[in-house]
Amino acid sequence: MPQNIFSQKEIALIWDFDKTLTPMYMQEPLFKYFNTDSNQFWKEVDQIPSFYNQNGLHRVSRDTVYLNHILTYVNKGLFAGLNNDLLKELGKQIEFYPGLPEFFLNLKKSIEQNEEFSQHEMRVEHYIVSTGLRQMILGSDISNYVDDVWACEFVETVPPPGYLKNPYSLENRVISQIGYIIDNTTKTRAVFEINKGTNKYPEIDVNAAIAPEKRRIPFENMICIADGPSDIPMFSLIKGNKGRTFAVYRAKSKTEFNQVNDLQRQGRIESCGEADYTEGSKTSLWITSAAEEIAKRIAEERSRWLKTYVGKPPRHVTNE
SS3 per-residue string spanning 157-215: CCCCCCCCCCCCCCCCCCCCEEEECCCCCCHHHHHHHHHHCCCCCCCCCCCCCCCHHHC
Q: Which fold has domain 10-309?
A: Rossmann fold (3.40.50)
* pLDDT of 88: 98
User: What is the distance in angstroms between the CA of the first residue and the CA of the last residue of the chain?
Assistant: 38
* pLDDT of 248: 98
* pLDDT of 302: 79
* pLDDT of 120: 86
**Cβ-count burial 118-134 (b if 16+ within 10 Å, e if not):** eeeebebbbbbbbbbbb
Distance of CA 133 to the CA centre of its chain: 12
Contacts of 279 (CB under 8 A, 6+ apart): 99, 106
List the pLDDT tens digit at each of the 320 positions of the chain. Answer: 345 667 889 999 999 999 999 999 999 999 999 999 999 999 999 999 999 999 998 888 888 999 999 999 999 999 999 999 999 999 999 999 999 999 999 999 999 999 999 888 899 999 999 999 999 999 999 999 999 999 999 999 888 898 898 887 777 789 999 999 999 999 999 999 999 999 998 898 898 889 888 899 999 999 999 998 889 999 999 999 999 999 999 999 999 999 999 999 999 999 999 999 999 999 999 999 999 999 999 998 877 766 666 655 556 665 65
Q: What is the DSSP letter of 19?
A: T
Can you tell me the distance from the alpha carbon of 145 to that of 148, in angstroms, rounded to the nearest whole number?
Answer: 9
Taking the domains of the chain in order of start, what are their residue ranges?
10-309
* pLDDT of 1: 36
* pLDDT of 2: 42
Q: What pTM was computed for the model? A: 0.91
Write the DSSP assignment of 216-268 as a string of letters.
Answer: SS-GGGEEEEE-SGGGHHHHHHHHHTT-EEEEEE-TT-HHHHHHHHHHHHTTS
**Cα–Cα nearest to 148, from 191, 95, 93:** 191
* pLDDT of 315: 62
The amino acid that residue 159 corresponds to is: P
**Cα–Cα nearest to 104, from 88, 121, 128:** 128
**Cα–Cα nearest to 272, from 297, 302, 304, 248:** 248
Handedness of CA 139, 141, 147, 148 (dihedral sign): negative
* pLDDT of 149: 98
The amino acid that residue 195 corresponds to is: N
**Cα–Cα nearest to 243, from 12, 5, 16:** 12
